[in-house]
């Protein structure tokens, strides 16, 4: 479409030059008078006819479609202005009246085509994010077939095929690593700037960039099932959606079109029949009114912002299902996070270690980790991970025995060691009075494991669901934006109070069953709050649906979460801050564009209708067309400034 307008614009420009040369008014303006020749007026008519028919054709087609749908739009106004001026001029030539608008109409069509061409270039720039996503998939892949590497088109790769991805290459399609280790840059899909380590069993996403090692992968998804295809489809649906503000703008454009048509007629009647001006003067102002009032800027004010914002969000790992979700997000006043796996990592970590009986913390942790290294229990893994983080050397262990639900026993350096719950140690006759007293005086919200050797308690180890480091900044930034932050969890009041205290939350709901989370959201809404719910999109599905804006976090490659209006690819609560900032910036751009489009018409229409005539100010139709085109381009350029918005969390 852009190239078609460019072609028509160049043809019309070539034909407009002789029209300007042959026009007496243009000759008079430059103080030049070319000698008339037989048929010169008919030649002007012929040139103008080609310009009007060929150059104006796209507008006539659009006007016909609009009228068939019983609505008036910009194309109707443009067609009315061009055809009325042309028909008046053609009748003048054929009847020998000696008055015409050929040069005005020709330049009007040229300016309209130029304006649309520039606008389409600007709109094309607004969709660059989506095109960048679509271009990530390489055209070919290295297929492993019978021990050989064969290069095949990516489109021909099937699920189950095995591919080789060399260092520095883009992963051609979604798959699972079979052999090799590397780090993969997923920034273009998830917005995560740090390379992600990959090894056997890990998932890789088509379009991402392989790092330093070669990978052999098995294809798991093809076609529309791939993560990138789903992201592109979701963004396209969002860009095609119409927020409430757009519907308001459409209605305003309808009224403006009808107003312009009647105002143009009224302008003609006033200046010709009432003010006694010439027919040419009255027609000139009437055409200018109709042209300058075209509601094109009003029609572009919202869609361009929607297109840019959804593409920008996708590049930063935020997938917005509809433009309405963005509009709702900017009106939020409360954000509710699920605790486990969202604000916390969803896995245990050692937070406290209380040494007893003369032992050091390092000695106790190393001994406990030596016993637990053979266990798969989450608590055991946390203790072992803590010891390894500190670089502790673990002693040799003999006769390991797991006690289901309670802990484990083993022999270390010839001495029995017990690591486990209070019940396990008490059943072994261990005195825990000192340990329990020290624990009671400590921090709440912990699960405690005890260590004993030689019949004596040696340490109390406190564990908790580790709070994500990113959660602290997310809560701080959301509060700075004026939002209240709350937390939902199925954990005990003790644990919930600890996490809320660490993060500085004033509101939390503890011991909430999955089926009750939606009720808590509803209670907040009944208090008049506009609530976003942030969760994993699976266990929290009813709460996400109930909320004003449901946000599924940490989706990874599984972006098809129907319960959420917004899907965050990364498991980073700071992306919620980015979503709020984007929604507010989008709202500001929409208001700016609507204000400009409205103010432009408020100022331009009276001027076009002849308010400035007493001061000698008269707008010709081509200047009206230029003003109309300029207003549309300004609206698009203003929307394009959204691309400078930084959404990625600061390090």
CATH of the domain at 336: 3.40.50.1000
Same domain, 380 and 250: no
Catalytic-role residue among 174, 338, 548, 572: 338
pLDDT the model gives residue 281: 86
Same-domain status, 353 and 337: no
pLDDT at site 632: 77
User: Quick check: is 532 in a domain?
Assistant: yes
- What are the residues whose beta carbons fall under 8 Å from the beta carbon of 156, sequence distance 6 or more? none
CB atoms within 10 A of CB 205: 24
Regarding whether 183 and 47 lie in a shared domain, the answer is no
Q: Are residues 350 and 324 in the same domain?
A: no
Q: For position 123, what pLDDT does the model report?
A: 62
280 alpha-carbon distance from chain centroid: 52
User: 270-303, pLDDT tens digit by residue?
Assistant: 999 999 898 888 888 888 887 777 676 777 788 8
Q: What average pLDDT score do residues 392-411 get?
A: 87
User: Which CATH number fits the domain that encloses residue 373?
Assistant: 3.40.1110.10
Question: Which pLDDT band, with edges at 50, 70 and 90, does 190 fall under?
Answer: low
Task: State CA 205 to chain mean position distance.
Answer: 19
pLDDT tens, 354-381?
999 889 999 999 999 999 988 878 889 8
User: CA–CA separation, 260 vs 490, rounded Å?
Assistant: 61
> Does residue 108 surpass a pLDDT of 90?
no
8 Å CB contact between 329 and 576: no
For 380-384, 528-532, 566-570, 618-622, which range has the lowest pLDDT when averaged over its residues? 618-622
The answer to whether residue 436 scores a pLDDT higher than 80 is yes
Model pLDDT, residue 444: 67
Domain that holds residue 412: 345-466
Q: Half-sphere exposure (CA, 13 Å, Cβ side) for 403?
A: 17
Task: Please report whether residue 92 resides in a domain.
Answer: yes
Residue 496 has pLDDT above 70, yes or no: yes
* pLDDT tens track for 215-228: 999 999 988 888 88
CATH number at residue 159: 2.70.150.10
In the chain, the number of structural domains is 4
As a whole number of angstroms, the distance between CA 6 and CA 58 comes to 12
pLDDT at 525: 96
Question: Do 37 and 151 have their domain in common?
Answer: no
- 306 — pLDDT class (breaks 50, 70, 90): confident
C-alpha 256/C-alpha 580 separation (Å) is 33
Summary mean pLDDT of the chain: 85
Q: Are residues 8 and 117 in the same domain?
A: yes
Q: How many angstroms separate the CA atoms of 638 and 208, rounded?
A: 32
Collect all residues with Cβ–Cβ distance below 8 Å to 44 and sequence separation of at least 6: 19, 22, 23, 93, 100, 102
Above pLDDT 70, what percent of the chain?
Answer: 93
pLDDT reading at 560 higher than 60: no
Choice between 239 and 146, residue whose per-residue pLDDT is larger: 146
Residues 400 and 486 occupy one common structural domain: no
Say whether 73 is catalytic: no
Q: How many beta carbons lie within 10 A of that of residue 278, not counting itself?
A: 11
Are residues 494 and 442 part of one domain?
no
The answer to whether residue 134 is domain-embedded is: no
Is pLDDT larger for residue 187 or for residue 19? 19
- Residue that finishes a domain, picked among 414, 445, 466: 466
For residues 182 and 369, give the distance between their C-alpha atoms in angstroms, rounded to a whole number. 30
pLDDT in tens, 333-349: 999 999 888 898 878 88
Strand pairing class (215-219; 175-179): antiparallel
Q: Provide the pLDDT confidence category of residue 460 given band limits of 50, 70 and 90.
A: very high
């Amino acid at each position: 479409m852009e190239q078609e307008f460019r072609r028509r614009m160049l043809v019309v420009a070539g034909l407009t030059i002789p029209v300007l040369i042959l026009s007496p008014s243009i000759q008079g303006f430059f103080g030049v008078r070319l000698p008339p020749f037989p048929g010169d007026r008919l030649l002007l008519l012929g040139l103008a006819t080609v310009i009007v028919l060929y150059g104006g054709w796209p507008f006539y087609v659009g006007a016909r479609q609009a009228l068939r749908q019983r609505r008036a739009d910009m194309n109707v106004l443009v067609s009315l202005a061009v055809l009325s001026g042309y028909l008046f001029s053609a009748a003048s030539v054929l009847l020998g009246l000696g008055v015409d608008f050929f040069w005005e109409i020709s330049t009007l069509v040229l300016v309209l085509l130029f304006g649309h061409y520039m606008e389409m270039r600007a709109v094309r720039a607004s969709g660059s994010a989506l095109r960048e996503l679509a271009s990530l998939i390489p055209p070919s892949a290295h297929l492993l077939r019978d021990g050989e590497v064969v290069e095949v088109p990516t489109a021909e790769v099937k699920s189950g095929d095995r591919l080789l991805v060399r260092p520095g290459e883009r992963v051609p399609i979604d798959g699972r690593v079979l052999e090799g280790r590397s780090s993969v840059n997923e920034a273009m899909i998830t917005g995560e700037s740090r390379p992600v380590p990959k090894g056997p069993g890990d998932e890789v996403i088509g379009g991402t960039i392989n790092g330093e090692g070669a990978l052999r992968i098995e294809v798991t998804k093809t076609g529309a099932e791939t993560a990138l295809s789903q992201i592109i489809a979701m963004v396209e649906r969002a860009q095609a959606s119409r927020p409430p503000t757009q519907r308001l703008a459409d209605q305003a454009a309808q009224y403006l079109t009808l107003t312009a048509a009647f105002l143009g007629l009224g302008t003609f009647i006033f200046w010709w029949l009432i003010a006694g001006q010439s027919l040419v003067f009255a027609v000139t102002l009437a055409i200018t009114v109709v042209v300058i009032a075209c509601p094109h800027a009003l029609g572009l004010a919202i869609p361009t912002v929607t297109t840019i914002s959804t593409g920008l969000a996708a590049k930063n790992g935020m997938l917005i299902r509809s433009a309405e979700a963005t509009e709702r997000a900017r009106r939020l006043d409360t954000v509710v996070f699920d605790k486990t796996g969202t604000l916390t990592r969803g896995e245990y970590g050692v937070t406290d270690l209380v040494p007893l009986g003369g032992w050091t913390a390092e000695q106790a942790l190393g001994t406990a980790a030596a016993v637990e290294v053979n266990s798969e229990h989450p608590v055991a893994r946390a203790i072992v991970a803590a010891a390894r983080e500190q670089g502790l050397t673990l002693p040799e262990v003999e006769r390991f025995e797991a006690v289901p639900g309670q802990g484990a026993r083993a022999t270390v350096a010839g001495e029995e060691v017990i690591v486990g719950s209070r019940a396990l140690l008490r059943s072994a006759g261990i005195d825990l009075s000192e340990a329990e007293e020290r624990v009671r005086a400590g921090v709440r919200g912990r699960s405690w494991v005890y260590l004993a050797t030689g019949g004596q308690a040696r340490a109390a180890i406190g564990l908790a669901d580790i709070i994500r480091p990113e959660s602290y900044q997310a809560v701080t930034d959301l509060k700075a934006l004026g939002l209240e932050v709350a937390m939902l969890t199925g954990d005990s009041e003790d644990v919930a109070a600890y996490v809320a205290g660490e993060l500085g939350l004033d509101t939390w709901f503890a011991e909430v069953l999955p089926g009750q989370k939606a009720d808590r959201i509803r209670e907040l809404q009944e208090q008049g709050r506009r609530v976003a719910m942030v969760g994993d999109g699976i266990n929290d599905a009813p709460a996400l649906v109930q909320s004003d804006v449901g946000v599924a976090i940490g989706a990874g490659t599984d972006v098809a979460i129907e319960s959420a209006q917004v899907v965050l690819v990364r498991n980073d609560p700071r992306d919620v801050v980015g979503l709020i900032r984007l929604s507010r910036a989008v709202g500001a751009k929409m208001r700016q564009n609507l204000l400009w489009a409205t103010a432009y018409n408020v100022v331009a229409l009276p001027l076009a209708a002849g308010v400035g005539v007493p001061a000698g100010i008269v707008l010709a139709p081509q200047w009206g067309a230029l003003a109309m085109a300029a207003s549309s381009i300004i609206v698009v350029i203003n929307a394009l400034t959204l691309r400078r918005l930084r959404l990625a969390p600061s390090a």
